[in-house]
Amino acid sequence: MLILTCPYCGVNAEETELHPGGEAHLARIGPNGTDDEFEAYLFARKNAKGVHFERWRHAYGCGKWFLAARCTATLQVFGTYRAQTPHPPADIVEAIRKARPDWTPDWTPAEGTAE
């Protein structure tokens, strides 16, 4: 069973206490976006076998949305973090790299941050 730690209330919640919210870190398309960009925002998802970043809601707890990094093949959880975080925190990226040395992030690291 998948167990995730809510980063807000600290509870180790079983999957049945949570509500899945799909892929994390989707970039919203503004009013100047093209039809193709909007279609990709609405329908294109990674559906990765391996490291994946997801949105979850602590539905039967504090009710807040948070993000989780886990492996979809093994259910190994690398960590959870607050939903307002634009990219996974450095400690979670480090945990992923330790467990999956061949994994590379698919975002461009921001200037002045660890990732």
Looking at residue 67, the DSSP 8-state letter turns out to be E
Helix/strand/coil for 70:
strand
Nearest distance, CB of residue 103 and Zn ion, angstroms: 27
Going from the C-alpha of 84 to that of each of 32, 36, 38, the distances in angstroms are 24, 26, 22
Is 105 among the residues that bind Zn ion (CB under 5 A)? no
Nearest distance, CB of residue 7 and Zn ion, angstroms: 8
Nearest distance, CB of residue 45 and Zn ion, angstroms: 25
d(CA 115, CA 97): 12
Where in 39-98 is the site for Zn ion (CB under 5 A)?
58, 61-62
Is 103 among the residues that bind Zn ion (CB under 5 A)? no
